[in-house]
Structure 1
Amino acid sequence: MSAAAELARPAIEPTQLRQLLGCFPTGVAVITTRDAEGRPAGLTCNSFSSVSLQPPLVLFSLRNASRLLGAFTAAESFAINILSERQDTLSSRFASSRIEDKFEGVAWHAGAMGLPVIDDCLASFECSVYACHAAGDHTVFIGEVRHMGGGCGDQALVFYKGAYMMLAESLRKLVVQGKLGDADIDEAYRTLYGTLLRLGAQRASDAELQAVDAAVAAIEQHPDDAPLADRIASASGFFAAIAAAGHNEALNLMAQTMSTVLRERMTHVLPVRPRPDLFPLRREIAHALRRRDGDAAARALDALITQLRRA
């Protein structure tokens, strides 16, 4: 590639990069070691990966901004603790910057190398440091496995698109089994997306408002015999555009979960057919957003949900 072409190539946008990398599901691990004073130290990580079988090598990467970078850089060994789906609270605990003593109240023991090994994990690997490399805004630690062990027979805790798949999978089962009623789901949509619409009226960029308009148009452009997959994609795109306009990461994660519910209901529960009677209500949501009237947008959403249940 020429120098001119290289300069003309668009820059990789970090937020989009993180979002797209999130399309690859990963397990969740707590990486532990001991600091210079011998105290246990640990953090949550989903960058764990195998490297080699001969010799047995694994790796994880750590942000250079992490407060524990010095402890891991100085240590000669570390342990990988693979979490089960019942240990999601441990994942949050070791990821929090507000908890000073991460090990307080946590069941753990000293492993064969004296490293902190968390009880009841799916698997643990005690490693000596094999190599350490600077890589952009992270440092990559490669370890040689010296001792390992298996624990409980639970399912793994899986991280996908910024959320634990355990929650999404549980919701999917409830939907398919018919255990989530219309009233509860409608209330969740009104509360979640009503809040996002009010936030979007204040925070959305012009491009994000245009994305909502485009999502509405995409739904209206379906022919009567449009495939179910296309209808699901456009319906999900409409609510995803609203979520993006709200600029709230926590609510956006909840919206991703609700998108899972929507897809499963459209696939297994709801009769999916053309609904031109809903077109004006979606347009009113988009128009109210453009007017920066969040309350009006939320009222239009409420009317949309009510009309959806009438026929």
Structure 2
Amino acid sequence: MTALTDDPMLVRKTFAHFPSGVSFLSAERDDHKHALVASSFMVGVSLEPCLVAFAVQKSSETWPLLRDAERIGVSVAGEGQADLTRKLAGRDRARRFEEVSHSVEESGAVFIDGAALWLECSVYSESDAGDHWLVLLEVRDLGMNDIEPLVWHGSRFRGLALESSVDVE
């Protein structure tokens, strides 16, 4: 077995083989909208209180602008939003929201139109996790749309391929 420190690209390639959703975390503060894109988003952390989680690099310049927001909008990208994902993750933070259809709540949470689901959250806790912060968010409101989610797998965007479906109650 190869030691992780021998080939850090192997770690990235291996992690990229795990499929995940793509989430936009966004808020408006001081009349400026801020967004970051996370593929490390996880739902179902806790039901009481209702918690979700994501990891963000400590080098992120956007997270410090979001962490103190009253509320953060989480929009899980819908199928067909790959180009939008690239735009919102772009380096030009001042232009991220240009021509992006979205809404802003009174709380400052920003939601991206066309998302598969949305969550209005507040920061519950933040923990040191190596070169990342592990952030727990408390869900204050939520909803979903009849849209399939965008999937990130193998360093590419993909849609779901449903062979059959099973309803879970």
TM-score interval (norm. to shorter): 0.7 to 0.9
> How far did 1:79 drift?
1.6
User: 1:159-187 deviations in whole A, cap 9, x for unaligned?
Assistant: 10101123x97xxxxxxxxxxxxxxxxxx
| Amino acid of the structure 1 residue aligned with 2:41 | F
The structure with the largest strand share of the pair is 2
Quote the Cα distance in structure 2 between the aligned partners of 1:76 and 1:112: 10
Structure 1 residue 53 corresponds to structure 2 residue 47: yes
* Residue among 156, 165, 180 paired with 2:158: 165
Residue correspondences, number: 158
> Alignment identity in percent?
28
| Gapped regions of structure 1 (runs ≥ 5) | 1-8, 170-311
8 Å Cα contact 2:23/2:74 also seen in 1: yes
Q: 1:112 to 1:100 in 2, by over 3 A?
A: closer
> How far did 1:98 drift?
3.6
User: 1:229-256 deviations in whole A, cap 9, x for unaligned?
Assistant: xxxxxxxxxxxxxxxxxxxxxxxxxxxx
**Equivalence for 2:166:** none
| Amino acid of the structure 2 residue aligned with 1:116 | V
TM-score (norm 1): 0.48
8 Å Cα contact 2:36/2:63 also seen in 1: no
> How far did 1:135 drift?
1.2
Structure 1 residue 28 corresponds to structure 2 residue 15: no
Quote the Cα distance in structure 1 between the aligned partners of 2:9 and 2:34: 29
User: 1:29-52 deviations in whole A, cap 9, x for unaligned?
Assistant: 1111233x2421001110110211
Quote the Cα distance in structure 2 between the aligned partners of 1:109 and 1:78: 12
> How far did 1:24 drift?
0.9
SS at match of 1:31: strand
**Equivalence for 1:75:** 69
Q: RMSD across aligned C-alpha pairs, in angstroms? A: 2.0
Quote the Cα distance in structure 2 between the aligned partners of 1:32 and 1:117: 7
8 Å Cα contact 1:77/1:143 also seen in 2: no
TM-score (norm 2): 0.84
**Equivalence for 2:105:** 111
**Equivalence for 2:60:** 66
Q: 1:122 to 1:11 in 2, by over 3 A?
A: closer
The structure with the largest helix share of the pair is 1
Structure 1 residue 129 corresponds to structure 2 residue 103: no
Quote the Cα distance in structure 2 between the aligned partners of 1:80 and 1:64: 19
8 Å Cα contact 1:112/1:147 also seen in 2: no
Quote the Cα distance in structure 2 between the aligned partners of 1:103 and 1:133: 29
* Residue among 29, 32, 35 paired with 1:39: 32
**Equivalence for 1:223:** none
> Highest relative contact order (Cα 8 Å, sep 6+), 1 or 2?
2
User: 1:102-130 deviations in whole A, cap 9, x for unaligned?
Assistant: 11111111236331111121110001111
**Equivalence for 1:174:** none
8 Å Cα contact 1:111/1:126 also seen in 2: no
Quote the Cα distance in structure 2 between the aligned partners of 1:105 and 1:146: 28
Structure 1 residue 94 corresponds to structure 2 residue 88: yes
Larger radius of gyration: 1
Q: 1:112 to 1:122 in 2, by over 3 A?
A: farther
> How far did 1:72 drift?
2.3
**Equivalence for 1:235:** none
| Amino acid of the structure 2 residue aligned with 1:40 | K
> How far did 1:150 drift?
1.5
Quote the Cα distance in structure 2 between the aligned partners of 1:25 and 1:44: 15
**Equivalence for 1:267:** none
